[in-house]
Chain A
Amino acid sequence: DTGVSQNPRHKITKRGQNVTFRCDPISEHNRLYWYRQTLGQGPEFLTYFQNEAQLEKSRLLSDRFSAERPKGSFSTLEIQRTEQGDSAMYLCASSLFGQESNQPQHFGDGTRLSIL
């Protein structure tokens, strides 16, 4: 399967712990996006990369959240000192961006985070 892969699929942790998620995009895609989705809402943008450069972060993103894409391939999203409000599905998507237009994003199945 050459789609977007996310690990782990589920994460349950206690409040205050740090968590890290991984996303492996489609190999030829240069853009990688992180979203958060809660019940009844559409995906909420968190941040995105073009190759290894982080181009934008949501203004709503707490400084407890950090993301990296060190070699322009896989990416990690870390949440420090987790809070109950962080419970959500974390979605990763990738796309191929060219000069003419953006291409559709391909989403992974997400990591569901539950904070106890």
Chain B
Amino acid sequence: EDKVVQSPLSLVVHEGDTVTLNCSYEVTNFRSLLWYKQEKKAPTFLFMLTSSGIEKKSGRLSSILDKKELSSILNITATQTGDSAIYLCAPAPLVFGKGTRLSVIA
């Protein structure tokens, strides 16, 4: 059975802090791992990671995959209140983690 564990489940930080969100997985037929951000409605796509060790960046967000450790991290630097959301990890199209709820306070 496919498993995805995200940690921490929730996190409260102050604006300007840097955060690291973790995702570990056990899935069959792994192809890629995706990160999504979910605010009030639908998840929106952040990153797709296919190759181990190659960092993907988008502004203050970055992510990297470690296929040997079956894990991925999502980093957010200089957090802003607009980063408050649930961050979801999906190591397969049909399998999502429970998410990490990030709250950034001013």
Contact = CB atoms under 8 A, between A and B. Distances in A.
Top-4 shortest CB links A-B: A42-B96, A107-B42, A45-B94, A104-B45
A53 to B, nearest CB: 16
A101 interface: yes
Interface residues of A, number: 24
Interface of B: 4, 31-32, 34, 36, 41-45, 48, 50, 88, 90, 93-99
Contacts of A109: 41-42
Interface in A71-98: 91, 95
B45 A108 contact: no
Contact of A101 (B31, B41, B88): B31
A102 B31 contact: yes
Contacts of B41: 109-110
A113 B37 CA distance: 22
25 contacts: A4-B42, A33-B93, A33-B94, A42-B88, A42-B90, A42-B98, A42-B99, A43-B43, A43-B96, A44-B96, A45-B96, A91-B42, A91-B43, A95-B93, A101-B31, A102-B93, A104-B48, A105-B45, A105-B93, A107-B36, A107-B42, A108-B42, A109-B42, A110-B41, A110-B42
B93 A43 contact: no
Given A101-B50, A104-B48, A48 B94 contact: yes
B88 A43 contact: yes
Interface in A27-43: 31, 33, 35, 40-43
Given A91-B42, A106-B45, 13 more contacts: A33-B93, A33-B94, A35-B96, A40-B98, A42-B88, A43-B43, A43-B88, A48-B94, A105-B34, A105-B45, A107-B36, A107-B43, A109-B41
A56 B42 contact: no
Interface in A45-66: 45, 48, 56
A70 to B, nearest CB: 22
Nearest to B10: A40
